[in-house]
Homo-oligomer: A and B are copies of this chain.
Amino acid sequence: MRAEIIAVGTELLLGQIVNTNAQYLSRGLAELGIDVYYQTVVGDNKRRLIEAIGIAKGRADLLVFTGGLGPTQDDLTRDALAEFLGRGISLHEPTMDKIMKLFADRGSALIESNRRQALLIEGATPLRNDMGLAVGNALSADGISYLLLPGPPREMKPMFNNDGSAWLRERLGAANSLHSVMLKFAGIGESMLEDLLLDLIQAQQDPTIAPYAKEGEVAVRVSTKAVDAEEAARKLEATLTEIRIRTKAFLYAEEDVPIEATVVRLLTERQLTLTLAESCTGGMVSELVTTIPGSAVVYRGGIVSYSNEVKMRQLGVPQELLEGEGAPGAISAETAQAMAEGVRAAMDADFALSVTGNAGPAAAEDKPVGLVYVGLAERGRETRVEKLQLSGDREGIRLRATKRALYMLWQSLSGQLGG
């Protein structure tokens, strides 16, 4: 089944709201094994909406609408589809009763326009709205299925998950649904990862292999259609094994979690503690680590050393590293090492990460934008420092430095060092 999502609303075209409904429905349809080929946004204009329906009917066999079921004259989705299909519209009595009751309970007279929310296209199945008044519509015509959902997410989501999904499952029969595994990587860029997997990606059929890059993270989704999880696991195994072998040094999770979640989990399992000393990242490593619930068990705290005095006073970085003729300066491997060792001692933790560098926008200490040193101090082991030359804007550099620091810690925790 090929689907198109049609979101109706001028506020989307004006950029007043972001189309989170399309994302939610795309994900929900994928879980049902339905491929979404297009998402369309059209304004509150009947002629243009009817044209959009005509186009969608030519390239999809399921049209999922969201928006335009409300009480106002601008809410046109039902009217437009009825006109397109040449069908009538009638009142859905249970919904009308609910609307009347609501107004009675409020002690106010019915506002006539609210009747519109109880309308059903001829032949449509009503979809219950637990969070609002507008009834949903589901119908089939000429082999095409139509699902009409409200626009407000808090009404749309439960309607889709309950009556909407049930209606779709009936139409799908016992068909296969999509199963996928998300592989998450750190310490490697998108193009380098793709190089490692290029022949697999080019030869892919079933399972499919899709790489994704977000800021500072890379992921690969391996998917197949199967009747159940067991069959899916069998179909995915060979591909997953091959990818695991090739990417072992970078593959930190087989689910969609950020690296800070994996690091906190590994520290927790081993009852080890972490502390942080940050300069150019300004607290971003700390902020990401503490997004993880339960991080308080392993994370003792950290120091943001944005000035040399704090580096010296709070972290014990020797003055001669920071100041004076020929000193390496704050942005140096020596300082990264001293910061990591200093904070580990001050906070008495098993691990300490440090980050110092120039995130831009201008050169500092004559060091170029993007030059960053990341240090890892570890109880009973030698401190490691990595030199990075990162590209991008200030936020991009800070984020990549943060993820790289977490990757160093993951390497150590997962025994991936020495590669």
Contact = CB atoms under 8 A, between A and B. Distances in A.
A72 B286 contact: no
Contacts of A194: 72, 113
A306 B314 contact: no
Contacts of A20: 18
A35 B24 CA distance: 26
Q: How many copies does the complex hold?
A: 2
A106 B301 contact: no
Nearest to A18: B23
A316 interface: no
Contact of A300 (B14, B132, B302, B309): B309
Nearest to A40: B40
A241 interface: no
Residues of A contacting B: mostly: mixed
Nearest to A39: B41
Interface string A151-162: 010100000000
Interface stretch (A51-59, A78-86, A140-148, A168-176): A51-59
Contacts of A71: 190-191
Interface in A67-126: 70-74, 102, 105-106, 111, 113-114
Given A19-B23, A24-B15, A55-B55, A283 B304 contact: yes
Nearest to A293: B361
A259 to B, nearest CB: 16
A72 B191 contact: yes
A215 B16 contact: no
Interface stretch (A244-252, A320-328, A388-396, A405-413): A388-396
A284 interface: yes
B131 A392 contact: yes
B347 A310 contact: yes
Contact of A132 (B26, B43, B392): B392
A10 B210 contact: yes
Contacts of A16: 27, 210, 212, 221
Interface in A269-311: 276, 278, 280-287, 289-291, 293, 295-296, 299-307, 309-310
A352 interface: no
A206 interface: no
A131 B132 CA distance: 44
Contacts of A27: 14-16
A193 B274 CA distance: 42
Contact of A295 (B290, B306, B392, B396): B306
B210 A114 contact: no
A149 to B, nearest CB: 15
A210 B29 CA distance: 32
Contacts of A304: 276, 283, 286, 290, 301-304
B55 A37 contact: no
Contact of A301 (B114, B191, B303, B392): B303
27 contacts: A12-B39, A13-B36, A14-B26, A15-B27, A15-B30, A16-B212, A17-B214, A18-B19, A18-B20, A38-B40, A38-B41, A38-B42, A38-B48, A73-B201, A113-B194, A114-B191, A154-B393, A276-B304, A282-B286, A283-B285, A283-B290, A293-B362, A299-B306, A299-B307, A300-B307, A303-B303, A313-B346
Q: Across chains A and B, which 6 residue pairs bring their CB atoms closest together, nearest first?
A: A282-B290, A283-B286, A15-B27, A15-B26, A283-B283, A39-B41
